[in-house]
Amino acid sequence: MKNSLKLIGIDTSSVACSVAISDGENVFERHIEQPRKHTQLLIPMVNEVLKESKLALTDLDAVVLGNGPGSFIGMRIAASVSQGLAHGAGLDVIPVSSLSAVAAEALDASEENYIAVAQDAHMNEVYLGLYVRDKFNKPKSLVNEYLQEQGIIEFFASQNQNFLTAGQGWKSYPELARSNSKWICGQSHILYPRATWLLALADISAAIKPQNIQPAYLRQKVAELPSNK
C-alpha cells in the first residue's frame, strides 16, 4: 500500500507519538510509545523526519492528521500541531481515522478480511471501528466508528463473519473479547496507529483547510482548537 504524494503524517491519539514523511517513494518515520510525553516529543520528531527526508514543509502536498478517535488531549496536540504546520506552509490537511490506520497495518500482516479495532476510551468503553478489506487492500468502514460499552457487540451478532481484532482496547478490556469470542478469529499484535499507515490511507480529495479540522472526539466533551488567523 503506497501513496505517491509528498506528505507528512502525525498521530498522537494513543500512547504512541508517531510522525512519518513521504517523498513520494520513501517513507521516513519516528514512532515512540511513551505516555504523556507527546508535547515534548512531537516537534523534535517532525524536525527529524524533515531533515532525514531532505524535504521542507513547502515541498509537501498536504499534512495528514490522525484524527482519532482516541485520547482527548492527544488528539488536540496532533490537531494543533498539524494546523500550525499547514498554516505556515500554505498546505491543506487530510484527516484520516486513527482506528483505520491500525486496521490497515493489521490487515497488511494478515490474510483475514474483517477486522475490529478497539482503543481504550476509559469508563469501561472502547472506541470501536469495524472494517472489511476492499479491492485495494485498504480497510473500508462497515459502520461509523462509535463508543462501545462492555458486552455483546450487536454488529457482530448481526453478521455471519469472523473478525480479527486489533488495538489496545481488547487488552484493556479482555471481558469484551470474551463476550464476543464466537465472532473473533484471532488477535493482531498491532495496538497503536503508526503515521506510516496514515500516509498510505491519505486521499487528497478529502483535504480540508487547516481551520476546518474537527477531531473525532465521539464523546461530548469537546473544545475548540485555537485559531491561527
Span 142-163, pLDDT tens digits? 999 999 999 999 999 999 899 9
What is the predicted pLDDT for the residue at 224? 46
Q: Do 178 and 200 fall into the same domain?
A: no
Q: Do 32 and 42 fall into the same domain?
A: yes
Q: Do 123 and 175 fall into the same domain?
A: yes
Residue 224 lies in a domain: no
Whether 67 has a pLDDT exceeding 70, the answer reads: yes
Q: Do 155 and 131 fall into the same domain?
A: yes
Q: Which domain holds residue 149?
A: 99-187
Q: Do 150 and 174 fall into the same domain?
A: yes
Task: Summarize pLDDT for 10-41 with one digit per residue, the tens.
Answer: 999 999 999 999 999 999 999 999 999 999 99
Residue with cell 512531537: 42
The Cα 115–Cα 152 span in angstroms is: 16
DSSP code, position 227: P
Q: Across the chain, what does the average pLDDT equal?
A: 95
Q: Do 76 and 132 fall into the same domain?
A: no
Residue 143's Cβ-count burial label (10 Å; 0-12, 13-18, 19+) is exposed
Last residue of one domain, picked from the residues 171, 187, 203: 187
Residue 228 lies in a domain: no
Residue 49 lies in a domain: yes
The Cα 62–Cα 81 span in angstroms is: 13
Residue 133 lies in a domain: yes
Q: Do 69 and 84 fall into the same domain?
A: yes
Residue 31 lies in a domain: yes
State the pTM of this model. 0.94
Q: Do 45 and 22 fall into the same domain?
A: yes
What is the predicted pLDDT for the residue at 220? 64
Q: Cβ neighbours of residue 23 under 8 Å, at least 6 residues apart?
A: 6, 53, 54, 55
Task: Summarize pLDDT for 171-224 with one digit per residue, the tens.
Answer: 999 999 999 999 999 999 999 999 999 999 999 999 999 999 999 999 864 444
Q: Do 116 and 173 fall into the same domain?
A: yes
Cell numbers given for 134: 476492499
Cβ pair 55, 21 in contact under 8 A: yes
In total, how many domains does the chain have? 2
What percentage of residues in the chain have a pLDDT greater than 70?
95
Q: Do 45 and 80 fall into the same domain?
A: yes
Cβ pair 90, 60 in contact under 8 A: no
**pLDDT (average), residues 86-102:** 99
What is the predicted pLDDT for the residue at 1? 67
CATH number of the domain at 51, please: 3.30.420.40
What is the predicted pLDDT for the residue at 196? 98
Q: Do 87 and 17 fall into the same domain?
A: yes
Residue 166 lies in a domain: yes
Cell numbers given for 93: 490537511
Cβ pair 22, 30 in contact under 8 A: no
**pLDDT (average), residues 96-101:** 99
Q: Do 103 and 159 fall into the same domain?
A: yes
